[in-house]
Amino acid sequence: MLAGLLAACVGAAPRSARTSEAALVTAPASLVDPFIGTSNWANDFPGADLPFGMVQWSPDTPSRPHGGGYEYRDSAITGFSLTHLSGPGCDGAGDIPVLPTIGAVDTSATEGFSHTHESASPGSYAVTLDNGVTTELTATPRSGMARFTFPSTTAANLLFKLSGSQAGDSRTAFTAVSDTEVSGQVTSGGFCKASNTYTVYFDMVFDRPFTSHGTDAATAAHRPATPAPSTPPGAPDAANPLRLHGTEPTPSQSAPAARGALNDGHVTFDTTRSHVVQAKVGLSYVSVANAAANRATENPGWNLTSVRNAALHAWDSALGRVRIAGGTPARRTVFYTALYHSLLHPNLISDSNRQYPGFDGTTHTVDRGHRAAYANYSGWDIYRSQAQLEALVDPQAASDTAQSMLDDDDQTGQFPKWSENNGESHIMVGDPADAILADYYAFGATHFDSAAALAGMIKEGTDANSNRPGLNYLRQLGYLPSDGTYGCCNFYGPAATTLEYDTADFAISALAGTLGDTAHQASFADRAQDWRNLFNPASGFIQPRDTSGSWTQGFDPTSGKNFVEGDSWKYTPMVPFNLHGLATAMGGNAAMAAFLDTDLSSFTGAGGHTDLGNEPSLDIPWEYDYIGRPYQTQQTVRRIQDQIWTDSPSGLAGNDDLGEMSSWYVWSALGMYPETPGTADLALGSPLFTRALVTLPSGHTLTIKADGAADNAPYVQKARWNGIPWNNAYAPAEAISSGGTLDYTLGTNANTAWAASPTSAPRSYPGAGH
């Protein structure tokens, strides 16, 4: 009793009465800083776009980081490309760079600039280049608009660097339709050395005639790499060291597109009397005609201010689904910028007439009852927390995305894994579509053919396919052996991939249970426990095994061999659906606590321990909740927020991976995390802000209040749910569906008694056999 009284006193909140409530943010887009994540290899971009839009009109700089194309430390711009990917680990997009220049036409030109003459906000970007040209950019979902203000000159050029897609091009075309319109196309692809290709078409009109135009033969600086030959049958995979995203060579799936002519284009204006040239451009992945229709449909006028304001309004609407109050200005900026980055992908790929290019190489029409088709899935990354956030904030887009994934499965016989536009790259490992689809459904995006989704997931988890090479080993051995034969589809890291398949299997089980399929719920939950076959009680680690059943020789928990972008320190805790079972296998909660204490002694990978700049470590800080120590989750998550996230260009550690890293911050700032894929289970931390209101897909509201919230006060002293004391380290089951009010009192000292009992831990799912 005395110990309990002391704990209560030591952990008391710094104030005895609730402070007056701070005002909720009313214009969240105004708090976004698109320059966050444009350095330190986060690979984000600062240009104009809309939530999940097709167009990202953004500057590229000479360093041209993967996907984002813009490095804040550079001092020159090579062009303003119309497509970008936010934070991947390989070259991609960066299609159709346009650059304003003065004087003689030189399609290899670059122009200097200074950040003092540059600005960006959601849906808008502007810069004055050293050559005196001011470029202002904005966007609609499928089109872009620009205003170029030139000095007085007879040689005001717009260069179309069509051969300048980030991964190179295999063919380009440029046509002057009239003296106020140009159109064309580029074919690119080869994401992470894969064989995928896509063609993007454009049509641009000007508000005044150009005086001349032309094309120039070009040699692209980068080209899609020739895929590596397929692994000979029967040959074991080579050992794989620790890798950055996507650097593993990809076996050939189909021949790359035949290389055609590579030409850049240009138009020239006389700006001696009027200095302003306005342009509107439409994109399409189907045809030039569709590109022109997208432009005409979405932006029929010439009012750039109106289009820019509409883009800002669209962002305010999307970001306003999560409204916060309190916190420092810097924290609010980091939060809404992270939410902004979380809502950039996946991207529209269907046109205003509902046509889109399928994975089968033919043109399709958006399914009846759906608004659009989507593309660009960084599957291995986003299933962890971005998919859940997408469903929560925009259930319509998430539902349409889910249906798009079903269409991809119909067209090719498999769900997308890491796809770029309408082509699969097979980059990374596992079968992430299972978790993504189940995540969407669990978090309220249910407007898709869930029965067909489950059927496809079960088929992919049962019959041999290129998304799950080595499926036969799961049946025979219950794990993927390090000396196995896989032969296709970018397979590597068998120990890590086994865990990825376990997560996919559990997600299938979760969706099956939700839809009433109890047989598959049980069978896939049981197979998800295959992680036990790689857990070595003697070492306390997940270890690779050979086909003989022996532990693979030379195991070192700090080695990346047989793992994927990590080691056993990072992967041993990756059993997010059965952490109670993992703790028991380790010898109990105290043993797991000791493991986590060591693992989380570094957030940057030092000593082989957690790297919170990469996905395999994202679940780990929340796992103290499962062993009676939620105060350590509260403390650790706050330290990560403090050490990794700032309101600066370098304020994000590691590739943003199409919004996955940013989504982690959003969840953590709300004081919760979707630890268990395929479910709406939320492990609790502590909120950063005094109040947050989340508009749920159901239309209800989840309100989170935190009296005493401050950077140095991460510790939960007590909590209430709808006015009733809440002493659990997980959110109530109805929090995401029906909403309610979760009310915290926070303090500067740990209350080790709060939610510490075994019954207060978030749920684990051991399967029927355990």
pLDDT tens digits along 223-280: 433 333 333 333 333 332 223 333 333 333 333 344 568 999 999 999 999 999 999 9
Q: What are phi and psi of 110, to 5 degrees?
A: -130, 160
Chain centroid to CA 161: how far?
28
- The torsion angles phi and psi of 467, rounded to 5 degrees, stand at -80, -20
Average pLDDT, the chain: 92
Kindly list the distances between the CA atom of residue 768 and the CA atoms of 525, 526, 527, in Å, as whole numbers in the listed order. 8, 6, 10
Q: What's the whole-number mean pLDDT along residues 684-712?
A: 98
pLDDT of residue 253: 34
Give the model's pLDDT for residue 9. 38
Query: In the prediction, which pLDDT does 693 show?
Result: 98
Average pLDDT over residues 277-293: 98
- 646, 622, 629, 572: which is closest to 760 by C-alpha? 629
pLDDT of residue 227: 34
Measuring CA to CA, which residue among 419, 343, 350, 409 is closest to residue 379?
419
Is pLDDT larger for residue 2 or for residue 122?
122
Q: Residue 371 gets which letter from DSSP? A: S
Q: 471-491: per-residue pLDDT in tens?
A: 999 999 999 999 999 988 889
First-to-last CA distance in the chain? 36
Asked whether the predicted pLDDT for residue 502 surpasses 50, the reply is yes
CB atoms within 10 A of CB 490: 24
Which residue blocks in 343-488 are alpha helix, DSSP H? 379-382, 386-393, 395-412, 433-442, 450-460, 471-476
Specify whether the CB–CB gap between 151 and 133 falls below 8 A.
Answer: yes
User: Mean of the pLDDT values across residues 696-703?
Assistant: 98
Tokens for 464, please give them.
């041999």
Smallest Cα–Cα separation from 637: which of 618, 617, 621? 621
The pLDDT of residue 653 is: 85
Give the closest residue to 259 by CA, choosing from 202, 308, 210, 219: 219
Q: What does the H/E/C string look like for 444-455?
A: CCCCCCHHHHHH
- pLDDT, tens digit (0-9, with 9 covering 90-100), for 387-435: 999 999 999 999 999 999 999 999 999 999 999 999 999 999 999 999 9
- Mean pLDDT across 199-209: 98
pLDDT digits (tens, 9 = 90+) for 729-754: 999 999 999 999 999 999 999 999 99
Distance of CA 13 to the CA centre of its chain: 36
pLDDT value, residue 221: 55
Question: Looking at residue 190, what is its pLDDT?
Answer: 95
Tokens of 445: 């995006």
Res. 19 pLDDT band, cuts 50 70 90: very low
State residue 291's pLDDT score: 99
Given CA atoms 752, 753, 756, 760 in this order, what sign does their dihedral have? negative
Q: Is the pLDDT of residue 691 over 50?
A: yes
Provide the pLDDT for residue 270.
Answer: 98
- What is the rounded CA–CA span in Å between residue 85 and residue 321? 24
Q: Are 417 and 424 in contact (CB under 8 A)?
A: yes
pLDDT band per the 50, 70, 90 thresholds, residue 770: low
- Quote the percentage of the chain above a pLDDT of 90: 90
What does each C-alpha distance from 611 to 92, 365, 433, 535, 739 come to in angstroms?
A: 25, 42, 24, 21, 33
Percentage, residues of the chain above pLDDT 70 = 92
Q: Is 544 helix (H, G, I), strand (E, B) or coil?
A: coil
Largest CA distance in the chain: 88
CA dihedral of residues 535, 536, 537, 541 (deg, nearest 10)? -70
Contact, 454 vs 509, CB < 8 A? no
Distance CA 74, CA 302 (A): 32
- Residues 107-117 have pLDDT tens digits of 999 999 999 99
- Inform me whether the pLDDT recorded for 12 exceeds 80: no
